[in-house]
Amino acid sequence: MSDKPIPIASGPAAGFTAPTPQNTPLNPAPVAGLSKPTVPDIAEGEEDKEDASEDEDEANPLAGLTGAQAAIYSMVQNKLEGLVGKSSGYIETLPIPVRKRIEGLKGVHSQFSKVEAEYKRELMELDRKYLGLYKPVFERRRAILNGEAEPTEDELKAGHELTLQDDPEAEPLSEEEGNAEGKDVKGIPEFWLTALRNHMEISEMITDRDEEALKALTDITLDLLPGKQGFGLTFHFSANEYFTNETLTKTYYYKAELDYLGDWNFERAEGCTVKWKEDKDLTKTVEVRKQRNKNNNRTRIVRKTKKTPSFFDFFSPPAVPSEDQLEQGEIDDDELDELRFKLELDFDIGEDLKDRVIPRAIDFFTGKSLEYDMLDGDSAGDSDGDEDEDEDEDEESSEEEVPVKKKGGKGAAGAGAGAGANQECKNQ
C-alpha cells in the first residue's frame, strides 16, 4: 500500500458542484462497483417458524409485554369495550329544546318501525300465497325426477330454449338417441344428492358414508309455519338400509320482533330424531379392539362408540343458551363464539335451502348455480377495495372467510329462547 497521503479537495475550486433540481436526475443512476443489497436465504422450515411467530404475535396483542404492561393493556381494552354503544356525551351537552326534538324524532322513528313490521308480516303472507302457487310446479318436478312421469313436448321445448341461452349451438335431444341405453333408468338418479353436493357449505357436511343414504332422498319440501314467523324443511326418503324414517324434518323459528335492519331475527331451530337401524348410525363410528386380561390371559373384544361428523347432524341443531346460562357465566367466551358460529352457519344453510336450493334445484343439479356463486364471490371481493393489495397471494388463497349472517343471526346466541329440542320425525 502506498504511504502517500490521499489529497482532500476543498473549496469550490475542487470541481464540486452542489446538487440542484436542475443538475440532479429524478432517478439517480446506480453507482458503479456497488452490488445490490442481498437478503440471506431462509430455509423452508425457518420461514414457517418466522411466519408462525408473526401470526402468534398478531393473534396475541399481549405478546412481548411485561406483566404490568399486559395488565394495563387489558384494563384499557376492557374499558374501551365497555364504551361500545354508549353515548359520547355530545347529546347531553345540547340545549334542552334540541334534546327534546331528538326525543321527538325517536318517537317519529317508532312509527316507521311499526309500519315496517306490518310490511314484513304482509310480505310473509304474500310468500305463503305464492308458495301455494309454487307447490304444483314442485310436485311436477318431483314426479319427473322420481320416474313417475315424463316431460311433455312443451316442457322439453321450454327447457331447450333455456339451454340455448347458455349454449347457442346446442342441438335438441333426439328421441331415438340413447333410448336403448337408458330405457331401464328410472327418473333422474341421485338428483338431490348431486344438487346438495353443488352447494358449497352443504357439500362440506356430506361425508362419503352419507352418500349412500342420501341417494334415497326423493324430495325436499318447504312449508311456512301457520300463524308464526318461521319455516319448515321436510326431507323425503325412499326405503333404505340406514334408517326407518320416511321423512326427516327441520324447523326454524323467527322472533316476533324485527332486528335493527328490519329482518326477521333467528330464534331457534328444531330437528328430529333419526331412527337408525342397527349398526347403521352414520353419526357414530364403532372402534373394535382386543383387550387381554392380565390375570387370566384371556382376550375379549371391546367395542367403543365415537361421535363422527355427518350430514345428518343437521337434524340435531345446536341449542340456543338461555338468558340464565349467559348471566351466570356457564358458557365461557370461546364456547360462546363457537356456538354463535355454529348457530349462524346452521341458520344460513336453512335459509339457503329455503330461498335457493328448493326453488332452483335444477340449477344446483346441473351446476349452473355455481356460476352465480362465483359471480357473487367476485363482487364481494371487489367491494373490499385495495385493502389487501400488499398481502401475499398465497395467504389470500388460503384464507377462509367466516360465514356472515344474512338475517338476524347476530342475536342467536343470546336469544334466551331455551334449547331447541329435536322433534320426533314423521313417518308417512
pLDDT tens column, 253-281: 998 888 877 788 889 999 999 999 998 99
- Per the model's pLDDT, the better-predicted residue between 71 and 134 turns out to be 134
82 phi, psi to nearest 5 deg: -70, -20
In what helix (H) or strand (E) does residue 306 lie, and over which residues does it extend? strand 299-307
Residues 128, 130: Cα–Cα separation, whole Å? 6
188 phi, psi to nearest 5 deg: -120, 100
pLDDT over 60 (residue 243): yes
Residues 6, 286: Cα–Cα separation, whole Å? 88
pLDDT tens column, 148-204: 999 999 999 999 999 998 888 888 887 666 566 667 889 999 999 999 999 999 999
- Position 265 scores a pLDDT of 84
- Provide the pLDDT confidence category of residue 40 given band limits of 50, 70 and 90: very low
pLDDT tens column, 91-149: 889 999 999 999 999 999 999 988 988 888 898 899 999 999 999 999 999 999 999 99
Coil vs helix vs strand at 324: helix
Please state, in angstroms and as integers, the Cα–Cα distance from residue 295 to each residue in 291, 292, 298, following that order: 12, 9, 8
Contacts of 136 (CB under 8 A, 6+ apart): none
| Positive or negative: CA dihedral 276, 279, 280, 283 | positive
This prediction has a pTM of 0.67
**Average pLDDT along the chain:** 77
Residues 22, 28: Cα–Cα separation, whole Å? 13
Q: How many other β-carbons are positioned within 10 Å of the β-carbon of residue 283?
A: 18
